[in-house]
Every structure is written in structure tokens, then in C-alpha cells.
Amino acid sequence: MAYEAEITVANPGCFLFLIDQSGSMADRIADRHEGKTKAQGVADAINELLSDLVNRCTRSDGVRDYFDVGVIGYGEKVGPAFTGVLANRDLVPLSEVAKYPSGSMSKAKTELPVWFGPVAEGDTAMCAALKRAHEVLEVWVRRHRTSYPPIVINITDGDAKDGNPIEPSQHIANLSTRDGNVLVFNCHISARRDKPVLFPHDDEDLPAYGPRLFQMSSVLPAKFREAALNLGYDVVADTRGFAFNADMSDLVKFLDLGKHTLIARVAATDSIVPRDQQRIIPVEVMEIKNTGRREDEIRTIAFYIWDGEDRPQGRDVKHWLKAETIWERKHAELSRV
């Protein structure tokens, strides 16, 4: 069955983000709270995802290279969007991403690393970005034949101005590892307050270029549908990795789907202790200490959930999300003590 490969250092996963940096990204995104430009909102969301990905892949021996990560911007220029030491690199191992942020931003009185900033210049050169992504991933899949297939997430506020993007998008989706084809997801963000369409299974009622972006988007594999259901979305077998008229909160949820699903592939296979070496403790009464290793604590809880259910197959995403909920509740209780 496709999309079942374990993500390890020897067989890493890959995230490639395509970011619309055209002039219209200087408009304010439709959002009830922050009022950022679309360019700033997208940059913040991707930088926070990268920071979270680094944290989730940190072990006692440092950041492990479970993923290669890239950001390609398209607007006046088309190319790698990383700045600083990582500038001009299409894909970067996660340990190097962790080592070389180009700056920082403040959020909730905390300084978070950033790797690229907001840009809004030129036209929407989406086709050129898709062709660049194809070149990059064609090399990656040849080198990682047994890896989980790459995920491409295209974030845009408009239609391509340099041709029909369906064909270059299909060329990307035709690339594959032995575990399946490359997945292409598309998220359209808007400056208007129209009703968002999240993870649809058809293109009915989508305005303007919406159907084209829908056709460019891959059908969600089973693990992604499971994650979407656990995040509260109504999905069916032919649901696509697509969002239209998204605001900032929708964008974050959209990105979380891919992050949760792939992290669960790491969590389900990394550092699991044999059953005969485990002291089984009911999950709800486990003592959770504030060790500063959030992901390790969640991984331990997820293990106990999995073990307590007789180690079933195919529930890793559900177990991870449940473990996160338990961790957050118990740490909230600790903070009140």
C-alpha cells in the first residue's frame, strides 16, 4: 500500500513549499485578528512550521535529518526563498535549517527563528515555480527511491499569469518513489471575507480559477484523511488537498495536516521500546514532568495509547493527536499547581 514508508534519517521525507510573492501579496489577508499582509502572514506561518518541525525532530543527540525542506518563491523572481546562509539552496536537511536561521520574530513574548521574510513584487509566475519544483524533486526522488513521497504545498492568492499551471503540476505529481507519487496540495488565501472551502471532493461552486487549483491538487491518501477527520473536517475518499478563500487560521490548519501526518510517520517508528521492557501505566494517570522535551513526552504518551490498544496498525495519526491533547491538558494542570 502506498504512503506507508517509515520516515527515518536513512529514508527522510521532504517538504517543498511554493510561495506566491507577487505584488498582490501586499494586500491584507482576510483575518479577524491580526490584519497582516498576505506576504507577512504566509512568511510567519511557514517560519513557525519550520520551527515546530525542528522541535519535533530534536532528540538527545540533536536535530535529526528526518526531512529535507525547501521554499521556492515566485513573483518578480522565481527561486529559493531562504535568506542568510541558506540563500540559493532549493532543499536543505533539517539539521542545517535549525543551525542557520536568518533572523527572529517575536510571538507571545517569545523569540522564534525565521528563515525568510515577506516579499510582494511582480506577477504570479506559478508555472515557472512548478517547473523549478519538478527539477528539484526529480533529483530528490531518484536519490530516495524508498522514501515517503515528497509533499509540495503551493500557497497563492491568485491565478497563474505565465500559463496554465495544470500541466506542470501534473508533471510533479507523476514523480514518485516506491511508496507513491509526489503529493501536490494547494492553498488559496484571500483578502476577501468570502466563505472558505477546505478539503473539497469536487470543484462545484468554486469561482474563477478555483476549479483549476482543485484539479492541480492531489487526492488525500488514507493517513491524511484520518488526520483531517481528527482535525474536524468532513472528508471522503476523493477529498483533495486543497483550500480556497482561506484566512490565516485556515492556512495554519491546512499546513498542520501535512505536518501532523508526516510527524506521525516518524513518531510511530522511532525509538519504540520493546513491550517486555515497558512498565505499562494507564495513560490518563501518567505523571508528565516538564522536561522541556515536548515531543519526547508526547511520543511516550502516544506509545502507551498504541500499546494499550494492542498495538494496532494504521492509527498512528489518531494516537499522536490524542497524545497531544493529553499532554496539553496535563501541562495546563501543572501550570496551575
Q: 336 φ, ψ to 5°?
A: -90, -10
Q: Are the C-beta atoms of 141 and 172 separated by less than 8 Å?
A: no
Rg (CA), the chain: 20
Mean pLDDT check: name the lowest of 85-89, 266-270, 317-321, 327-331.
Answer: 266-270
Q: Give the count of alpha carbons within 13 A of 149, CB side only.
A: 24
Query: Which string of b and e fits 17-55 if b means at least 16 CB within 10 Å?
Result: bbbbbbebbbbebbbeeeebbbbbbbbbbbbbbbbbbbe
Q: Tell me the range of 5-9, 169-173, 242-246 where mean pLDDT is highest.
A: 169-173
Residue-wise pLDDT tens digits, 276-318: 433 333 444 344 444 456 776 777 777 777 766 766 777 777 7
Q: Are the C-beta atoms of 328 and 303 separated by less than 8 Å?
A: no
SS3 128: helix
Q: What is the distance, to the nearest Å, from the Cα of residue 150 to the centroid of all Cα atoms in its chain?
A: 11
CA nearest 17: which of 54, 66, 50, 65? 50
What was the pLDDT predicted at 289? 46
If pLDDT is split at 50, 70 and 90, which confidence band does 32 have?
low
- Where are the alpha helices (H) located in the chain, listed in sequence order? 38-56, 94-99, 126-143, 166-173, 210-216, 222-230, 248-267, 294-308, 316-336
Which domains, and CATH codes, for the chain?
13-267 (3.40.50.410), 275-336 (no CATH)
Q: Are the C-beta atoms of 94 and 64 separated by less than 8 Å?
A: yes
Virtual torsion, Cα 92, 52, 264, 81, nearest 10 deg: -30
Q: Are the C-beta atoms of 74 and 158 separated by less than 8 Å?
A: no
